[in-house]
Structure 1
C-alpha cells in the first residue's frame, strides 16, 4: 500500500502554549488507524493541525502534497473529510440542506473519474432518521442524530481520508452501534480513516492499527494485538489495567 498521509516531527501551538511536541504518524491508502489517549494528550489538536486550524510546524503530506499553508477548504478539496468533536452542523439549515452542502464537486480538481463510494441513499440506509427528519432544522436534533448527520455530510464529499474526532462520546448504546456500522462500511469501501476514539472495543474492531498519544507525542503505534499485549502502555497512557 502507498502512504496516503505522512506526518513527521509535527509541533503545534495554541497561542504561546505548545501542545504537539514532534508527532510522527502515517496512514496508508484505505487503512483505518485509531488514535487513543487521555484527554489533553493532543489528539484533537493533531486533527485540527491536519486540517489547518492551528499553527503548526513540521511535515504534513497528503497524497504526496504538502498541506503547509493550505486553508481548511483547500485541504478538504484534496480529499480529507473532517468530523470534529463538536459536530459543527449548521443549526438553522435542515437535515437535507446540511447533507447537500456535503455533496461537493467529487474531486474534479483531482481529476477523479470513479463513482462516489458513499451516496445519499447510503446515508439514508445507514441512518434512516436522516430521511425521516429531512425537513427538520439540524439545531433541534439530538446529539446522536447530529453526529449521524455530521458523519454522513463528511462522507458525501467522497474523501480518501476521513478524520473523525470522538464520534461516540456521550451517546447511547444503540446510536453507538449505528455509528460503528457506518465506520465499518467506510473502511470496507476503501476510505482511509483516522479515528479518535476512547471506546477501545470499537477502535480495535474497526482499525488495523492503534496509535496512542501522550504529552503531545505518539508513544505507541502498532496492531490491536500488539496494543493489547502492552499492559504498560494501557496503564500508563490510558489509565486502563
Structure 2
C-alpha cells in the first residue's frame, strides 16, 4: 500500500507541475497565479503547496533531480580515477544521450522550458539556489576523497593542512559547477539560434573537454604575456 500511495503522490505532483508549466509557457510566469495552476490541475491550493513550497518550485523542481549528480559521480567513480576525469566522463555521457541538463537538446519543449527559466528572473534566482546546494554537495564529496584524488594530471593542488584541503574542495566544486552551467547555457543558446543538437555534438564535446582541461591545468598568463616572455 505504501508503494501505491507514493506512486499516486508522484503522479499528482507531476500533473500539477505539467499543468503549471503549460500555463506559464502559454501566458507567462508572472501572469499566471497559483490559483490558476490549482484549478487547471484540479487540486486545492493547500494541496498544491504541500507538493511545491513556492510558485517557482512548480518549474525548477526538475533541477532538484540533478543536485546530487556530480557528488554521486565523485563518490562512485572507479578506484584511482581522478574526480575531474570522472566528472568530465559524466558530462560527455550526458552530451551523448542529449541530456537537457547539458543544454544539448533541441526538442521544442526543452528549448521552451529553458527559455522560460532563464528568461524569468525569479525562476533563474530559484535555480541558483539549487545550483548552490549542488555545489556544496560536490564539495562534501571532494572533501571525503583521498588526498590528491581530485587532481587530473597533477592539477588542483590539495596538499597541506586539513583547512587548505577543505578550501581546495570548495574552490574546485565551485569551478566545476560554474563550468557545467556555462557549457550548458552555451549549448542551449547555439541551438536556440538555429543549430541542431546533432550538428553541434562534436563541437560541444570539444568545448567540454577543453573546459575541463582548463580546470585541470589552469589558464596561465594571457597569450600576449607568454609571447613577451618568449
* TM-score between the two structures when normalised by the length of structure 2: 0.26
Larger RCO of the pair (alpha carbons < 8 Å, separation 6+): 1
Greater Rg over alpha carbons, structure: 2
More helix by share: 2
* TM-score between the two structures when normalised by the length of structure 1: 0.25
